[in-house]
Structure 1
């Protein structure tokens, strides 16, 4: 039996169990489930991908930590969203990690840290941050500082529309600094609240057509805090989580210790299969993203919301990579698909298309007030400073105006142009309905080298995306053109990348379009856009799927 056979331990994350390993070990003798198998806990399980064994009902009944009301046994047929670290590592501390020398019995911290870092380097997933200073007078130009100062152009920024350097945003930040100073003064409860906070929250609620909003220091904190609080406060909560959800959503759901079901990415049919198995009276939340940050896919938003509501679930919709970029006023995919009323809770960021920092949720007044009153990630965090709040408010207003519509139109035009240019040059640029263009490499070492060579040889900054951000074997270059990249810049960029691709000995591709949409599985039709690409016939699905084949 594996360590993960204990249902009690399965309620904790890997990091929590490692942190409190001595405490768990002290109580092990009191546990009838684990005591019998103590000698096997230190063993290494050969099959890393094996699903963890589940404790039986009889074993759970004997557990001093749980009652039958505390746990619902997971059936083997149900999907489980596991930690990125394999669960067989639980409590698996080797003797050489506990002792440094013969003279000491303390844990060898630096030795353990070195071992973990070397593992990342051996897997080519160790991250070395680029030293980049952006030029606010000439976006998207910047300077790279690893070896002196080098002029570069940035192609992977999440500042999707360049709002960080918009004149109105910079003026608002400058004015706020002069009038109100640099800091906020504390948490919202202790001298850290201001009319700026409340004005921004009101503006965001108005944007998404909701009753109220709540601003956080980041959208990671917004997602984590909101989902954790819902899981803790709603009795007997069940989460239904998209398999492609962001780490912040997974973290909030996991640490709440509420029951969790994972459905296939962007698959409303699989979601419905799972929802059907849960009592209609049980509180449920379906959590998913509209625009997936790494593959650029857009979920079938209307279908997902309709399925959730059919079975009495609330919808928690992450619009982080959509706010500011879609819809007439920049409210996201919900506005574009005319389904804002179907989204019960929307989370968004102020640090991407809005060009500042921070995150938020919007929804009903009572739901928002409950999160405000019970969410520790909100209550105990110093609030955003007046400079950030003022810059965010100015940016939201600009992108809700006609100027915002014009910026979005230019960006979408540039995305189409660049994607088709990459594909026509034989590069495996994935088609998607969003503004994100993944160029698939499929090897961590090569992907990292490509990114480094682009910046050193051509002054082009495109970050490589490796595990754990994406699955091993799906490493990619993630490109995000803005409205401020010119056609000349895009032509040069494609030429440089194509040359480097050939120099690296990578294979060239040609495009073969599938018959059915990979998002909703409906037939695709060919329509003229830049060249020709497939368009889904479903009214609110614009997913265009590219299959790459070797020339």
Structure 2
């Protein structure tokens, strides 16, 4: 009913009359409803398949006597016209479409089927967007373009000029035709950002994680991978592809990790794979403690900073840089003794806070060269287009200098979390920029998302299984520097209305049930934000910096002077 526009707008009584009435001339043995279904571009095809299967069944007895005769002495003629193929005698052709339908039905039954909304971001008005109807404007509250860099004139202008100069595509893989000076400059910039000797750019960070973990573990004899239980799907896939033994430790549980490391000799190659900011809960990994365990037990560290690059640290290198904020502010490059130097492999994305697309790793020169030489996910993939690489380079350089966007994003996040806490609307507690609002039911979460979009002109996507465990479905909200206080007020009012209208559980309700996903947990410690008050206050007067664009005649974002 929700999917078909004809069914959704036709009264039930009219449907009954059509179903019981006489068929149309084009379909004399069917009801009028069946006639309309036959005319439908979707249902018509389905009915055609059904009719074909019925006809095939009626003629099965005659086909059963047919035989296919092949003369092995007759040479094949490549250019000869093909004869109609017949199924092997006595065997039934597998019903592929039925299998697809069964698998989709499973997703519908367990409420994990994913609906994609038609949302079109408006660059000059972001976080505004329009739906499939260009006149219907909505405010986006769930974008991973955390800092609005996707609309930054410095980034967009650089991409436009590079597109005019170098064209649309890269021309092939890096090995064959796509290794440009821009790729090398971006990799050099990323290596410097993370205090590493080298970096390597991929088509996405999903590919970077998969390719690096699978290749690295396969090249380390007897390697064992220790993986946080809430690691991203790309890391899980890379571990599977490596075929190396894996040990899963409890999420953010350093004691459990150490207990499992103790079962293996120090001489055994080990990789500890974890994240800095876990995107669906907003929790933050214990980077310093895990680095210490890695040294003690002879492991190397693989840190995914996808949801933290651009967001934390004085230059936007991520949580690892942020942990030694003052030291990295005073001496931003490698060798300053910060924990950033201790991590062996860092992966990041260019498609979230940097506002473009692509992924990368940063590590020692020899490790990066080995991945470049062996990883199929890098070798056999067409490289990122020059315009994309140039935009990414401009964005990385810009956020190395400007903290204005990071500060405003943190302020807006604090404001929203505080307002929701006042209303007892349950937010999964965390120290990061993610605002996960717990609903706890897949169907209700989808209903909340739909109602926000249709009734309140607010877009927040529902998050369900397998992205989060069943029973922990949520609305994942991500404030940006572009969200105004009025927008925040409208969102808070809309959520309060939904919680009352649909009788969703408040924080106290979850507490009465013993807590869920960190909400309503008895005697829980207060969570302190990663960005301290002192850091935010110290950055506000200094958060507006020079815009160093890669090309000339590109304007800086509003409010950010492009002075020499």
Q: TM-score, normalization: structure 1?
A: 0.74
Task: Provide the C-alpha distance between the structure 2 equivalents of 1:190 and 1:255, rounded to a whole number of angstroms.
Answer: 26
Alignment partner of 1:400: what SS? helix
- State how far apart, in whole Å, the 1-side matches of 2:527 and 2:479 are: 21
2:96 pairs with 1:122: no
Q: Within 5 Å, which residues of 2 pair with 1:257-336?
A: 257-336=243-322
Could you tell me which residue of structure 2 aligns to residue 166 of structure 1? 152
Shift of 1:507: 3.1
Residues in 2 aligned to 1:379 and 1:279: alpha-carbon distance in whole angstroms: 34
Distance 2:192 2:405 in 1: 21
CA distance in 1, matches of 2:407, 2:478: 15
Match 1:220 to one of 181, 192, 206 = 206
C-alpha spacing 1:460/1:169, structure 2 compared with 1 (3 Å): same
1:457 to 438, 455, 458: 455
Q: Quote the Cα distance in structure 2 between the aligned partners of 1:344 and 1:415.
A: 31
Are 2:409 and 1:411 equivalent residues in the alignment? yes
Match of 1:475 in 2: 473
Unaligned runs of 5+ in 1: 1-99, 526-532, 543-551
1:104 is displaced (CA, Å) by: 4.5
Deviation of 1:148 after TM superposition, in Å, equals 6.1
Does the C-alpha gap of structure 1 residues 524 and 107 become closer, same or farther in structure 2, counting only changes over 3 Å? Answer: closer
Question: Which of 476, 498, 501 matches 2:499?
Answer: 501
- Aligned counterparts of 1:492 and 1:155: Cα–Cα separation in 2: 11
**Contact 2:430-2:527 at 8 Å conserved across structures:** no
**Bigger-Rg structure (1/2):** 2
**How far apart, in 2, do the equivalents of 1:536 and 1:467 lie?**
27
The CA deviation at 1:431 is 2.2
Residues 428 and 438 of structure 2 are in contact (CA less than 8 Å); yes or no, is this contact kept in structure 1?
Answer: yes
CA–CA distance in structure 2, aligned partners of residues 277 and 153 of structure 1: 51
Bigger relative contact order (CA 8 A; separation at least 6) = 2
User: For 1:500 and 1:472, how far apart are their aligned partners in 2?
Assistant: 21
Could you list the structure 1 runs, at least 4 aligned residues long, displaced by more than 4 angstroms after superposition: 100-104
Assess if the C-alpha contact under 8 Å between 2:158 and 2:394 holds in 1: yes
The structure 2 residue matched to 1:178, chosen from 135, 145, 164, is 164
Task: State whether residues 431 and 529 of structure 2, in contact with CA within 8 Å, keep that contact through their aligned partners in structure 1.
Answer: no
Paired position in structure 1 for 2:98 = 111
Alignment of 1:93-112 (within 5 A): 104-112=91-99
Q: Is the 8 A contact 2:312 2:322 kept in 1?
A: yes
For residue 136 of structure 1, what is the aligned residue in structure 2? 123
8 Å contact kept, 1:465–1:478: yes
Structure 1 CA distance for aligned equivalents of residues 272 and 178 of structure 2: 33
User: 1:202 and 2:202 equivalent?
Assistant: no
Q: 1:377 aligns to what? A: 377
Cα distance, 1:279 vs. partner? Answer: 1.6
Aligned to 2:5: none
Question: SS at 2:226's partner residue?
Answer: strand
| TM-score for both structures, normalised by structure 2 | 0.73
Structure 1: distance between partners of 2:288 and 2:507: 34
Deviation string for 1:349-387 (max 9, x for gaps)? Answer: 000000000000001000000000011100000000011
Taking the TM superposition and a 5 Å limit, the aligned residue runs for 1:391-430 are: 391-401=391-401, 403=402, 405-430=403-428
Q: CA deviation at 1:534?
A: 4.8
- Per the alignment, residue 443 of structure 1 pairs with 441
What CA distance in whole angstroms lies between the structure 2 residues aligned with 1:534 and 1:483? 22
Q: Give the whole-Å Cα distance in 2 for the aligned partners of 1:186 and 1:148.
A: 36
Alpha-carbon distance between aligned partners in 1 of 2:365 and 2:490, rounded to the nearest angstrom = 50
Do the aligned partners of 2:429 and 2:527 also contact (CA within 8 Å) in 1? no
1:391-433, Cα deviation, whole Å (9 max, x unpaired): 00000011100x2x11111111110100110111121012210
Return 5+ residue gaps in structure 2 as ranges: 1-55, 61-89, 325-338, 536-564
- Please give the alpha-carbon distance, in whole angstroms, between the structure 2 residues aligned to 1:260 and 1:466: 26
CA contact (8 A) 2:431 2:528 kept: no
**Inter-partner Cα distance in structure 2 for 1:363 and 1:376:** 19
Q: How does 1:34-49 map to 2 (within 5 A)?
A: none
Moved more, 329-338 or 102-111: 102-111
Q: Is the 8 A contact 1:173 1:391 kept in 2?
A: yes
SS at match of 2:394: helix
Q: Aligned pairs, how many?
A: 426
Asked whether the equivalents of residues 430 and 529 of structure 2 are also in contact (C-alpha less than 8 Å), the reply is no
**CA deviation profile, 1:121-180 (whole Å, cap 9, x unmatched):** 1111111111111000111000011x5641000000000000000010001100110000
Query: How far off is 1:300 after superposition?
Result: 1.3
Aligned to 1:255: 241
Q: Does 1:363 align with 2:363?
A: yes
SS at match of 1:262: strand
Q: Which has the higher strand share?
A: 1
